[in-house]
Amino acid sequence: MVHSVELLFDAGTEAAVREMWEELSQAGIRSMAGHRSPTNRPHVTLTVAEDMDGAVDRALADVLARLPLHGVLGAPMLFGAGRAVTLVRLLVPSVELLSLQADVYRTCLPHMPKGALPHADPGRWTPHVTLARRVPVDQLPAVFALRPLTRDIPVAAVGLRHWDGDERVEHAITRAG
């Protein structure tokens, strides 16, 4: 499995994303709404690695001073190729967001024995919120007909978590002190 550090949203943003998940589900598209784990929540992955030691949580505490971070969920995008794709919404990259991601990446590196996965490298990272995985391409016309997927949504990122995919546990990053 993998470990990741994720940017979390305020209640309003989280509700807006969950509404998109539900709208997709009601249209017959298997969305993240169907993932019933209590840790399943809208987020933006800032960095990801095969392994991260637990000390990363404390190392990231100072990053919280840079939150809240305001932005916009913009265009829908597709990752992958073939008969099924992943549907996401772009978190429009701002100078503040890109700087935050680069700082999180650098802070985490000493805690990732094998380094980060390449798509998390600053300059290669695409900020996004996942809406649905394994969407058959023949369902894409129905996806893009849904109005909530095509309108910009103001967002506020307010927290961080470390997701331990091996143990399937989330660790909230909290301020030191």
> Residues 100-128: pLDDT tens digits?
999 999 999 999 999 999 999 999 999 99
Percent with pLDDT over 70 in the chain: 99
pLDDT at 150: 84
Instruction: Kindly report the number of other CB atoms within 10 A of residue 148's CB atom.
Output: 14
User: What pLDDT, on a 0 to 100 scale, did the predictor assign at position 15?
Assistant: 96
CA distance 174 to 64: 8
Share of the chain above pLDDT 90, in %: 84
pLDDT at position 37 is 76
To the question of pTM greater than 0.85 for the whole model, the response is yes
pLDDT value of residue 10: 97
Mean residue pLDDT across the chain: 93
pLDDT of residue 176: 64
Measured between alpha carbons, how far is 89 from 131 in angstroms, rounded to an integer? Answer: 7
Number of structural domains, the chain?
1
Instruction: Give residue 80's pLDDT.
Output: 94
Closest CA to 28 of 148, 147, 143: 143
> For residue range 28-42, what is the model confidence (pLDDT) as tens digits?
999 999 877 777 899
Domain range for 99 is: 3-173
Q: Which of 8-17, 84-93, 119-128, 140-149 has the lowest mean pLDDT?
A: 140-149
The answer on pLDDT for 84 being more than 80 is: yes
pLDDT of 165? 83
Give mean pLDDT, residues 88-106. Answer: 97
Structure tokens at 168: 């399937």
Q: CATH number of the domain at 68, please.
A: 3.90.1140.10
Task: Kindly give, in sequence order, each residue whose CB lies less than 8 Å from that of residue 123, ignoring residues fewer than 6 positions away.
Answer: none
Confidence at residue 177, expressed as pLDDT on a 0 to 100 scale: 52
CA atoms of 139 and 162, how far apart (whole Å): 33
